[in-house]
Amino acid sequence: MICGMLPFLRKTTGVTALALLAASYPTLAANLKYPPTTKTNVVDDYHGTTVTDPYRWLEDDNSPATKDWVAAQNKVTFGYLNAIPGRTAIKARLTKLWNFERYGVPFKEGGHYFYSRNDGLQNQSVLYTVESLTATPRVLLDPNTLSKDGTVALAGMAISDDGNLLAYGLAASGSDWNEWKVRDVRTGQDLADHLQWVKFSGAAWRKDGSGFYYSRYDAPKPGDALKGVNKFHKLYFHRIGTEQSADVLVYERKDQPDWGFGGSVTEDGRYLVITASQGTDPKNRVLYKDLSQPDAPVVELLMDFDASYRFVGNDGPVFWFKTDLNAPRSRLIAIDVTTPARANWKEVIPQSAETLQGVGVVNQQFIASYLKDARSVVQVFALDGKPVREVALPGLGSAGGFGGKRGDTETFFSFTSFTAPGTIYRHDLTTGQSTVFRQPKLDFDESTYETKQVFYTSKDGTRVPMFLVHKRGLKLNGQNPTLLYGYGGFNISLTPSFSVSRAAWLEMGGVYAQANLRGGGEYGEDWHQAGTKRHKQNVFDDFIAAAEWLQANHYTSAKKLAIQGGSNGGLLVGACMTQRPELYRAALPAVGVMDMLRFHKFTIGWAWCSDYGSADNAAEFPALYAYSPYHNLKPGGRYPATMVTTADHDDRVVPAHSFKFAARLQEYHRGANPVLIRIETKAGHGAGKPTAKQIEEKADELAFLTKELGIKPPRAARK
């Protein structure tokens, strides 16, 4: 049942200034005095169950009281962090490690190559263009010039087919709201075009370069930009040189407030393919419009909402889709839109033992990317589906890219592992050979570390994979500081990737563990569904089992284990630290969904009901209430040392989740472990965060862990 279709909960006691109760004065922990947090008498009735919500007032991020609370909490938190011995050295080491040249995967339009580059410590990567791979690149767009503190980021871009125009989106302070502009690639100057209130959208140029398709919401009411519910997405066409008010509405559904739209133009320029999503459910609908016919109608092609259909490309009226219909690990099918009945569909690439992640059409071939136990495998197929070859990859890691046009004979991809940042390769599709285009060099010796994959058994007997990264020759004595990371949701797969902060963690003798929990997409849609709605507890059981395995196999102990996750992973950490607090010494829940009864009432939160369910649904409420981190903290509980992190401009998972969780945690927690909340300013959910802010945040996290787990400072600071 889609969120919002059932009656809303009934509030039994309102929040008013007269209803304020005594302020909460938590017990001191580690000589900390937490700011007193006012409690209010708010009680809700969920299908006959009464639930208190004394910190509801913190949901109002614009109120002076909330702003004062944020300032007071940050004063305590940063005072604590800045006093940790070794934090300065950790920041210095992170800064040195971060200072390496890195590139994005190149792509080609209109005879020009385009790619991003960061010289090391630039807050934002710079977009370059070049006529050939050996020519001198030219700066096309430098986001670092758009704000003094680097908080304006490039959020999306699209180049016209002739390579002459760049449509680009900007995000300020990490917000999901974007504004889009247009730049002339030849002159480097912006045109007058300016689009606002764009969210969850790219840009799709028409073949003739006359304009592009994009999606947006109506402008929010004053004060609602960062917390108001987002409904009624609309698809528009913007003609270059005109005002946004003149944009043509291409498609909307006034009867479907929860549908979101994305438009793409086929390579031949003939069709506009419209994808209609519904929340975060991987299932979707597909429509199309014939652009060769003036005023052609939008045609409904796939409207049953029975599977995921990802458009890959077309051969005239034959559309290729990657789908999980009757194939939970996905396959490739062909649909002729002139005879679209299901009986006429053709399977091109059948489902395999590995999970098909994506398909592209380059050099008159399909390039298919798979996951085999959460690591990349790439296969090339002929257009009739016959296997051609496997693309050789450097090792156990993650490969991404492989874009291009149907007639191109080259493609580019990035390959990364836990101990090596992304190397960019040029792949010759005629010879099958890959050569290094750009390889980063940094002050980190990856040869001294090893990566292995283990499989452990969860509570219900499910076999779950986990990556382990640590120094070679690690002693299994149960005394190794270990950081366990997870996500487990929304069909998202955790694959090997490089992180500067993890590199610093490894240098300090830490073990890094990454568990591939149910709810993710590592093994296809069945694996995803096994961690959703009333099955969500499976995700937490998988993570808890990972912690138990690490201790049982003497990698670490409860006194040396920390857990970390962000967003849905923040929920994961919040749930696991409330269910099994004795298993961990420290917890780092970041931008987490902590109030599972009210998440759907803010911004795009309603869209997560496809994974979580809704408290408005009497059948789904009990499961949500049973694990909701905010509601399952217990008075007098002894919790791990915890640093909650969030940001004041997070309009994806509004900071109220973290505010309320931290306030109640400080109220209920007993013992010496510190429980803090770190609230970043001029930042959002994480995308586009400036390098300087990332270094500060990671230095704080590592400093917190060194203190709580008893870790030596980084080598650069040792005397």
> How confident is the model over 136-156, as pLDDT tens digits?
999 999 999 999 888 898 999
The single residue listed with the structure tokens 């009281």 is 65
> How confident is the model over 70-126, as pLDDT tens digits?
999 999 999 999 999 999 999 999 999 999 999 999 999 999 999 999 999 998 999
Query: Which strand (E) or helix (H) includes residue 436?
Result: strand 433-438
Position with higher pLDDT, 571 vs 717: 571
CATH fold group of domain 69-95+449-717: Rossmann fold (3.40.50)
Q: Write the DSSP string, 188-229.
A: --EEEEEEEEE-S---EE-TTSSEEEEEE-PPPPTT-TTTS-
Q: What is the pLDDT of residue 7?
A: 28
Tokens encoding 587: 């917890």
| 678 pLDDT tier (thresholds 50, 70, 90) | very high
Distance CA 106, CA 132 (A): 11
pLDDT for 12 beyond 80: no
Which of 352-356's residues contact partners 24+ apart within 8 Å by CB, and which partners?
Answer: 353/329, 354/329, 355/329, 355/330, 355/493, 355/521, 355/522, 355/523, 355/524, 356/322, 356/329, 356/330, 356/331, 356/332
Q: What is the mean pLDDT of residues 60-64?
A: 89
Q: Which of 578, 579, 567 is nearest to 651 (CA)?
A: 567
pLDDT for 11 beyond 80: no
Q: What is the pLDDT of residue 690?
A: 82
Sign of the torsion angle spanned by Cα atoms 61, 65, 71, 72: negative
Instruction: Report the SS3 class of residue 568.
Output: helix
In this prediction the pTM is: 0.90
> How confident is the model over 470-480, as pLDDT tens digits?
999 999 999 99
Which of 116, 201, 330, 567 is catalytic? The answer is 567
Share of the chain above pLDDT 70, in %: 94
Distance CA 466, CA 546 (A): 8
Q: Which of 23, 100, 91 is nearest to 54 (CA)?
A: 23
Sign of the torsion angle spanned by Cα atoms 606, 610, 612, 618: positive
Tokens encoding 602: 């803010």
Say if residues 604 and 660 touch (Cβ distance below 8 Å).
Answer: no
Q: 665-690 burial string, b = 16+ CB within 10 Å, else e? A: bbbbbebebbbbbbbbebbbbbebbb
Q: Which of 678, 206, 706, 212 is nearest to 481 (CA)?
A: 706
pLDDT for 235 beyond 80: yes
The separation between CA 468 and the C-alpha centre of its own chain, rounded to angstroms, equals 22
Q: Taking the CB of residue 119, how many other CB atoms lie within 10 A of it?
A: 11
Strand partners for 33 = none
* C-alpha atoms less than 13 angstroms from C-alpha of 310 in its C-beta half-sphere: 13
In this structure, of 19-23, 369-373, 511-515, the range with the lowest mean pLDDT score is: 19-23
Q: What is the pLDDT of residue 680?
A: 87
Instruction: Report the SS3 class of residue 295.
Output: coil
Q: What is the pLDDT of residue 687?
A: 65
Which of 112, 631, 669, 685 is catalytic? The answer is 685
pLDDT for 23 beyond 50: no
In this structure, of 108-117, 148-157, 628-637, 645-654, the range with the lowest mean pLDDT score is: 645-654
Say if residues 606 and 277 touch (Cβ distance below 8 Å).
Answer: no
Distance CA 173, CA 339 (A): 48
> How confident is the model over 299-354, as pLDDT tens digits?
999 999 999 999 999 999 999 999 999 999 999 999 999 999 999 999 999 999 99
Q: What is the pLDDT of residue 684?
A: 58
Q: 309-343 burial string, b = 16+ CB within 10 Å, else e? A: bbbbbbeeeebbbbbbbebbbbbbbbbeeeeeeee
Say if residues 381 and 394 touch (Cβ distance below 8 Å).
Answer: no
Written as one letter, the residue type at 277 is S
Q: What is the mean pLDDT of residues 521-525?
A: 96
Over the chain, what is the mean pLDDT? 92
Tokens encoding 226: 């960062």
194 is catalytic: no
Q: What is the pLDDT of residue 650?
A: 62
Q: What is the pLDDT of residue 223?
A: 82
pLDDT for 9 beyond 50: no
Distance CA 42, CA 52 (A): 6
| 683 pLDDT tier (thresholds 50, 70, 90) | low
Q: 25-41 burial string, b = 16+ CB within 10 Å, else e? A: ebeebeebebbebbbbb
Distance CA 524, CA 330 (A): 7
Q: What is the pLDDT of residue 426?
A: 97
Distance CA 480, CA 511 (A): 7
567 is catalytic: yes
> How confident is the model over 576-623, as pLDDT tens digits?
999 999 999 999 999 999 999 999 998 888 889 999 999 999 999 999
Is residue 685 left, alpha or beta, with left meaning phi > 0 and alpha meaning psi from -120 to 50? alpha
Say if residues 228 and 249 touch (Cβ distance below 8 Å).
Answer: no
| 686 pLDDT tier (thresholds 50, 70, 90) | low
Q: Write the DSSP string, 381-413.
A: EETTS-EEEEEP-SSSSEEEE----TT-SEEEE
> How confident is the model over 400-416, as pLDDT tens digits?
999 999 999 999 999 99
| 648 pLDDT tier (thresholds 50, 70, 90) | confident
Q: What is the pLDDT of residue 472?
A: 97
Question: What is the residue extent of each domain of the chain?
Answer: 69-95+449-717, 352-440
Q: Write the DSSP string, 89-143.
A: HHHHHHHHHH-S-EEPPPEEETTEEEEEEE-SS-SS-EEEEESSTTSPPEEEE-G
Q: What is the pLDDT of residue 459?
A: 98
Say if residues 482 and 561 touch (Cβ distance below 8 Å).
Answer: yes
Say if residues 266 and 315 touch (Cβ distance below 8 Å).
Answer: no
